[in-house]
Chains A and B, each alone.
Chain A
Amino acid sequence: MQRGGDDEGQPQRFSYARADLPARITSLSLFRLAAVWESFRVAIASLRANKLRTGLTLIGIIVGVTAVIAVVTIINGLNETVAQTFSSQGSTVFTISKSPQIITSREDFIKFNRRKDVTHEDAEAISRLCPACWRVGIAANAIETVKYANQKAENVRIRGVEPITMFDIDGVEIDTGRIWTESESDSGREICVIGPDMLKNLFSDAPADQAIGKDIRIDGRPYQVLGVLEPLGSIFGFSRDNVVYIPYSTYQRVYGARRSLVVFIQVPAAEQLEAAQDQVRTIMRNRRGRALDDPNDEGFALETQDVFLNLYSSATSNIYYVTLGVASVSLLVGGIVVMNIMLVSVTERTKEIGIRKAIGARRKDILSQFLIEAVVVTALGGAIGVGTGFGLAYLISALIGFPLLISVMSAVLGVGISSFVGIISGLWPAWRAAKLDPIEALRAE
């Protein structure tokens, strides 16, 4: 065949002209790179060829990572909410009440119920006798339906307070209008300061100044609106703005003096808290001492906001541990599944391993090929788990109402841990593949 210079299609000469061989890359890292990329390519191809098997393999890993990511994200969001909520009152406030806010047994409930009510006189005694106390106030709550014109709001917290420094102790501020004066309070008039939810539910979200001077009805009685509070937001789906403040004297007149009230004591700085608590405890013991049936019972409860924080953190740490347990078990099971599948894969591909060894793959080439395959599977599972975990957290946060804090750290951790599971469970199958005898392996079908 005649051709001019162009030898395409004509067989190339192949001989021992080894002088024109390209320089071999002797640098170990570069050498590894080509083999590692080959391993990665093979891993992807083999996972794609066995989609169903890959999917089933991934389930354990996905469940584990999803659980961790969802719980961590949700708890981070809740922590943020709780931190914001309790910082408005801070650690300078404590309370004296008839019974603690959290009762854990029936016996306790009966015991606390037998105690004397905390009264206006108790608050006055504390105010008079406790030099470390800065502000002392009383508050009592009732739940009522509130109406304005043809609109109504249900389950509104009616909070009777005295004196007006209780607004400061509660950490709420006036947005529009004013708080009542002391003389207004003393006269027991039907006046109120409303939380922002009232604007929304009774005044169709009208500007705050349109509510000022209007009469709302609580349990049928008209109360004139003097002011509107700044919003506080919600916690665990419960709005903290669904409230109406009224003077305690009015509250007492309407709801009776027989209900036990709560004395709020605030100190100027957290350092004085303990001293103030000691003084208040002494004062209250003196006042209760004579009237006790049970000599072991103080007859009153002294609490700080730590009660909630402690309850909250013990609840969340339990959730953490349970999740950690679920995640560990599913990652363990996932790891065993991956190991099993890798062993199957090694057996199925014995011939391929033999071919690769025959043409020059070393033990570590085969080892890394199967390790990479295991890590690719588990990292993929981890990535899917991170995605579904965030998705789940998003759904729950939207349902309950707390901020969604997506942390990159937990995503990295999710993929990292699952990759680690891949390395651990891939090691043994990969080692078995690596030490196969090439002659035996080539004989396999």
Chain B
Amino acid sequence: MSNATLTLSPPESEVKPTTPLDGHDPTMLISMRNIWKTYQMGTESVHALHGVSFDIPRGEYIAIIGPSGSGKSTLMNLIGCLDTPTQGEYWLNGKNVSEMDDDELARIRNQEVGFVFQTFNLLARATALHNVELPLIYGGIGASQRHEMAKKALSAVELTDRMMHRPNELSGGQRQRVAIARALVNHPSILLADEPTGALDSHTSMEIMDLFERLHSEGNTIIVVTHEHDIAARAHRVVSIRDGLIEKDERIK
């Protein structure tokens, strides 16, 4: 070993080199350049991502796939502005978010990113309507407009009749649709879904994937992070992550 750092990277020759790009592409919705993420584990540095670069244009439906430990979750956290890269540039909708502080990132998450989680992550004590309104509350939108927008978003996921129900009164598929409405309500730049069907049966999973397809056809940019190939196959472009690098980036539709 030439150094003491523990990396999970395979020999250079086995990895398909990522497109060498200089500077970000301002025409792209997302433009990542040479992104590194390093975690300090005691005295050792662990590189979760080493030098990832790619672009996502507006209106794309993209799946990020990879086994656990591939750096896929780290990449998702970075795309979702929950975290900042150790090194590299990340441009989202014309803004360099790689060097923002906590509160600026919160603002970006509020306005540019709509999250859909595997376990829905709805507030248990709040009604569906209130859950959907939550991003608007933190976005500073007045009560009457907030109501209107939340109802519209719930109607977009066909849950108008379940608005006043709490999450424990809804089925898994309905909960995920509430979460999708919450993600969409603030008209974000990207819809970022982390294993969106991981907690659902196969029939409901298909319904949710159909909904994503429809939302894409309506012009939304959708990024699905998954380890399931059949879920990834619904996207139009699949980026495979392995050992902290992009292994494959292919258009399938």
Contact = CB atoms under 8 A, between A and B. Distances in A.
Contact of A363 (B80, B102, B142, B160): B102
A16 interface: yes
A362 interface: yes
A360 B157 CA distance: 22
A358 B109 contact: yes
Contacts of B153: 12, 14
Given A25-B140, A34-B143, A49-B125, A14 B102 contact: no
Contacts of A362: 102-103, 106-107, 138
A150 interface: no
A360 to B, nearest CB: 2
B137 A358 contact: no
A16 B220 contact: yes
A101 interface: no
A25 B220 CA distance: 25
A45 B157 CA distance: 28
Contacts of B121: 351, 354-355, 358, 442
A360 B111 contact: yes
Given A34-B140, A34-B141, A359 B135 contact: yes
A361 B138 contact: yes
A35 B156 contact: no
Interface in A172-223: none
A69 B10 CA distance: 74
Interface in B171-194: 182, 184, 186-187
Interface in A254-280: none
Interface string B125-156: 10000000011011111110110010011011
Contacts of A38: 134, 137
Contact of B58 (A8, A16, A34, A442): A16
A303 interface: no
B83 to A, nearest CB: 6
Interface string A423-437: 000000000000000
Given A14-B220, A15-B219, A34 B137 contact: yes
**Interface residue SS majority, chain A:** helix
A140 to B, nearest CB: 77
Contact of B142 (A25, A351, A352): A25
B103 A359 contact: no
Interface string A345-357: 0000001101111
A356 B126 CA distance: 13
B239 interface: no
On chain B, which size bracket covers the interface?
35 or more
A360 B58 contact: no
Interface string B155-169: 111101000000000
Contacts of B146: 34
B48 to A, nearest CB: 12
A358 B219 contact: no
B182 A359 contact: yes
B104 to A, nearest CB: 9
B137 A9 contact: no
A12 B152 contact: yes
Contacts of B59: 16
A3 interface: no
A21 interface: yes
Nearest to B218: A15
B141 A25 contact: yes
Contact of B123 (A14, A17, A355, A360): A355
Contacts of B107: 360, 362
27 contacts: A8-B160, A11-B155, A11-B214, A12-B152, A14-B153, A14-B156, A14-B215, A14-B218, A15-B220, A16-B59, A22-B141, A30-B140, A34-B141, A34-B142, A34-B146, A35-B138, A35-B140, A351-B121, A352-B123, A355-B123, A358-B80, A359-B135, A360-B106, A360-B107, A365-B138, A439-B82, A439-B83
Interface of A: 8-9, 11-18, 21-22, 24-26, 30-31, 34-35, 38, 45-46, 49, 351-352, 354-365, 438-439, 442
